[in-house]
């Protein structure tokens, strides 16, 4: 390794580089002459060479060092860093050493020619495909001031093709000053000088969106009552504005928008800007700017903010799923659906959370005595930062609005009432799921107008020899295993088989996923039989036809 490093230094010396200190060298590229009138000076920092790829800092272009202003606006694959309050203090790093590995071919010549190739590509505008890796953002995003955006917040801005500018309220962590004092939450955050604010501390910003949704809840949880409000300026730059550096962007915004109109007596403004970035993609950036910036003065302060938004993932289960029953099984189904970008989930369950549910249910003990369905819907919306889950009081409303129903109602009477009264003749598919004590036998039956009914399924068990044998074996196991004791309050003491319950929930979600994509089912029923302490269940699937012994005669 030391040998490899000595070689690197010797090669760079030969290419005209000289030492700045023991870990970095500076040199001119190309060594002699220029690339169509352009040459650059770089600093190569190789403190962890060859394990970590050397950092290549751009020092000057044609001996011009004011890069914040001088980087040509068409140049690419150049990363900017700025942790100060001054946009002219940025440093720029060349991205030319992709796919670094510590092998001997990554030597001084390699580094030199990669930088030269980078320069040639920038001057000509022509890039080799393998050097033209996608860049996520062209402007730096490292900051302790983080602006969180709700889902689809920027969507309508994207569609704007004309210059747009407006303001809205943003809630944020109350500022701490460099002096150690804390700002009063009664004043607007806009009323302080940027150089007073201690930016080593972390500040969270949340735009004020309409009340009552998951994002508003998050804002409350993250900021509590100790929050400050500021006026946030939002700017959309149309596609014809070109720039490369943060400073160039700032000047471009200022020259082309009427920012000053929105300025008042305030001393700083958070600004959110959307523009066309690398390869014409929509990008956004946020920063805090001093009033001098809005006023058009040449000396001004800015503090970059980090911008985060929820990843916009494609819908995975493109259905409105109605969940009847959200106990141990149903709440797991709901939870998995919340991680799968489901179009919409309607939840109905009249039960309240009780002590015996604790540790077997998705809800925390804080919800004891409260509606399972109402609070599960809210909790899952909060967790996924969406408004996918809806609490519904009457099950008839769920029947009507859903594309498919999942019935996991544990209570036998309620289950039968749904099966043989309320949902008889239902025209959409229903997934019925239940499990035996100790999760020894788990059953899923999918009924729809072209299959038999649940009674047909029960009759099929009696007339299908394989199915009957499976059920009789399971019954023996169930009878042997059940040792339920009750405590003084009547709570059952049973061993947890939650891993099997969660498995069962994953199977229901897989069926929903398959149906969403294929508009049909792989089978009409499935049994999972777990011998005690078994790891993989014995599985039996089949189709459900109208049974001659059933009175439904296919009319369901």
- Interface residues with Zn ion (CB under 5 A) are 452-453, 455-456, 550, 552
- CB-wise, 429 or 452, nearer to Zn ion? 452
CA angle 378, 379, 380 (to 5 degrees): 95
Using CA atoms, how far apart are residues 27 and 8, in angstroms rounded to an integer? 13
CB neighbour list of residue 472: distance below 8 Å, 6 or more residues apart: none
Q: Which of 386, 383, 389, 382 is nearest to 326 (CA)?
A: 389
Contact 370, 347 (CB under 8 A): no
CA angle 305, 309, 313 (to 5 degrees): 155
- CB-wise, 116 or 552, nearer to Zn ion? 552
What is the closest distance, in whole angstroms, from the C-beta atom of residue 466 to Zn ion in the complex?
A: 20
The per-residue DSSP string of 446-492 comes to EE-TTS--HHHHHHHHHH-HHHHHHHHHHHHHHHHH---EE-TT--E
What is the closest distance, in whole angstroms, from the C-beta atom of residue 455 to Zn ion in the complex?
A: 4
- CB-wise, 194 or 453, nearer to Zn ion? 453
- Pair of tokens at residue 139: 């402007």
What is the closest distance, in whole angstroms, from the C-beta atom of residue 461 to Zn ion in the complex?
A: 13
Contact 288, 232 (CB under 8 A): no
- CB-wise, 16 or 542, nearer to Zn ion? 542
What is the closest distance, in whole angstroms, from the C-beta atom of residue 552 to Zn ion in the complex?
A: 3
CA angle 27, 32, 34 (to 5 degrees): 95
What is the closest distance, in whole angstroms, from the C-beta atom of residue 425 to Zn ion in the complex?
A: 12
- CB-wise, 194 or 456, nearer to Zn ion? 456
What is the closest distance, in whole angstroms, from the C-beta atom of residue 443 to Zn ion in the complex?
A: 16
Please write down the HEC assignment for all residues of 357-406: HCCCCCCCHHHECCEHHHHHHHHHHHHHCCCCEEECCCHHHHHHHCCEEE
CA angle 74, 75, 76 (to 5 degrees): 115
What is the closest distance, in whole angstroms, from the C-beta atom of residue 407 to Zn ion in the complex?
A: 16
Q: Would you tell me the crossing angle of helices 108-124 and 2-14 to the nearest 10 degrees?
A: 50
Residue 499 CB-half CA count within 13 A = 8
What is the closest distance, in whole angstroms, from the C-beta atom of residue 151 to Zn ion in the complex?
A: 44
- CB-wise, 456 or 526, nearer to Zn ion? 456
**Long-range contact set of residues 250-256: C-beta below 8 Å, sequence gap at least 24:** 250/87, 250/287, 250/289, 250/293, 250/302, 254/293, 254/294, 254/296, 256/163
Number of C-beta neighbours around residue 219 at 10 A? 22
- CB-wise, 399 or 547, nearer to Zn ion? 547
Distance separating the N- and C-terminal Cα atoms of the chain: 77
- CB-wise, 149 or 550, nearer to Zn ion? 550
**What is the separation of C-alpha 420 from the centre of its chain, rounded to a whole number of angstroms?**
42
What is the closest distance, in whole angstroms, from the C-beta atom of residue 225 to Zn ion in the complex?
A: 59
- CB-wise, 319 or 456, nearer to Zn ion? 456
CA-based diameter of the chain, in Å?
95
What is the closest distance, in whole angstroms, from the C-beta atom of residue 452 to Zn ion in the complex?
A: 5
Report whether the peptide linkage leading into residue 263 is cis, meaning its omega lies within 30 degrees of zero. Answer: no
What is the closest distance, in whole angstroms, from the C-beta atom of residue 416 to Zn ion in the complex?
A: 14
- The residues pairing with 94 across neighbouring beta strands, listed in sequence order, are 78
What is the closest distance, in whole angstroms, from the C-beta atom of residue 556 to Zn ion in the complex?
A: 6
Taking only Cα atoms into account, the Rg of the chain, rounded to an integer number of angstroms, comes to 32
- CB-wise, 81 or 458, nearer to Zn ion? 458
Using CA atoms, how far apart are residues 28 and 235, in angstroms rounded to an integer? 40
- CB-wise, 327 or 452, nearer to Zn ion? 452
Using CA atoms, how far apart are residues 374 and 381, in angstroms rounded to an integer? 11
- CB-wise, 380 or 445, nearer to Zn ion? 445
- CB-wise, 445 or 508, nearer to Zn ion? 445
- Pair of tokens at residue 223: 């900021």
Cα dist. 549→327, 461, 552 in Å? 33, 12, 9
What is the closest distance, in whole angstroms, from the C-beta atom of residue 377 to Zn ion in the complex?
A: 33
**Using the 8-state DSSP alphabet, how is residue 313 labeled?**
P
- CB-wise, 278 or 464, nearer to Zn ion? 464
- Pair of tokens at residue 471: 């059920």
What is the closest distance, in whole angstroms, from the C-beta atom of residue 446 to Zn ion in the complex?
A: 14
- The residues pairing with 78 across neighbouring beta strands, listed in sequence order, are 94
- The residues pairing with 304 across neighbouring beta strands, listed in sequence order, are 287
């Amino acid at each position: 390794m030391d040998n490899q490093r000595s070689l690197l230094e010797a090669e760079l010396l030969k290419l005209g580089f000289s030492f700045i200190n023991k870990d970095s060298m500076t040199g001119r590229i190309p060594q002699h002459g220029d690339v169509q009138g352009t040459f650059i000076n770089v600093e190569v920092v190789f403190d962890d060479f060859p394990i970590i790829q050397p950092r290549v800092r751009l020092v000057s272009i044609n001996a011009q060092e004011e890069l914040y202003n001088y980087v040509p606006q068409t140049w690419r694959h150049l990363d900017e860093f700025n942790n100060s309050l001054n946009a002219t203090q940025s440093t720029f790093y060349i991205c030319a050493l992709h796919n670094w590995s510590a092998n001997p071919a990554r030597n001084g010549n390699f580094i030199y020619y990669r930088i030269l190739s980078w320069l040639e590509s920038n001057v000509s505008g022509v890039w080799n495909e393998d050097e033209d890796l996608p860049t996520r953002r062209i402007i730096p995003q490292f900051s302790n001031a983080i602006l969180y955006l709700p889902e689809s917040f920027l969507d309508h801005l994207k569609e704007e093709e004309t210059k747009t500018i407006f303001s809205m309220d943003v809630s944020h962590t109350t500022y701490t000053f460099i002096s150690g004092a804390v700002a009063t939450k009664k004043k607007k955050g806009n009323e302080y000088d940027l150089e007073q604010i201690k930016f080593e501390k972390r500040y969270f910003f949340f735009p004020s969106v309409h009340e009552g949704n998951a994002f508003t809840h998050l804002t409350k949880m993250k900021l509590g009552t100790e929050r400050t409000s500021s006026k946030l300026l939002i700017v959309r730059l149309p596609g014809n504005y070109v720039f490369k550096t943060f400073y160039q962007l700032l000047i471009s915004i200022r020259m082309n928008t009427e920012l000053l109109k929105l300025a008042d007596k305030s001393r700083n403004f958070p600004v959110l800007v959307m523009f066309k970035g690398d390869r014409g993609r929509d990008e956004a950036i946020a920063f805090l700017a001093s009033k001098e910036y809005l006023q058009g003065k040449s000396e001004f302060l800015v503090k970059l903010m980090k911008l985060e938004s929820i990843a916009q993932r494609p819908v995975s289960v493109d259905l409105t799923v109605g969940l009847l029953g959200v106990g141990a099984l149903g709440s797991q189904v709901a939870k998995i659906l919340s991680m799968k970008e489901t179009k919409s989930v309607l939840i109905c369950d009249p039960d309240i959370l009780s002590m015996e549910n604790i540790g077997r249910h998705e809800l925390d003990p804080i919800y004891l005595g409260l509606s399972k369905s109402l609070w599960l819907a809210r909790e899952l919306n909060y967790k996924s930062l969406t408004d996918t889950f809806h609490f519904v009081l009457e099950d008839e409303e769920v029947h009507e609005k859903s594309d498919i129903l999942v019935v996991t109602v544990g209570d036998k009477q309620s289950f039968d009432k749904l099966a043989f009264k309320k949902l008889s003749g239902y025209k959409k598919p229903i997934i019925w799921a239940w499990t035996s004590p100790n999760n020894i036998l788990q059953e899923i039956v999918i009924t729809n107008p072209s299959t038999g009914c649940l009674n047909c399924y029960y009759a099929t068990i009696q007339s299908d020899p394989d199915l009957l044998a499976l059920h009789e074996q399971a019954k023996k196991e169930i009878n042997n295993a059940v040792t339920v004791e009750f405590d003084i309050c009547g709570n059952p003491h049973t061993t947890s088989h939650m891993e099997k319950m969660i498995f069962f929930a994953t199977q229901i979600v897989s069926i929903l996923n398959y149906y969403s994509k294929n508009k049909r089912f792989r089978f009409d029923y499935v049994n999972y039989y777990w011998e005690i302490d078994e790891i993989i269940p014995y599985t039996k699937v089949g189709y459900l036809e109208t049974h001659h012994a059933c009175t439904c005669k296919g009319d369901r």
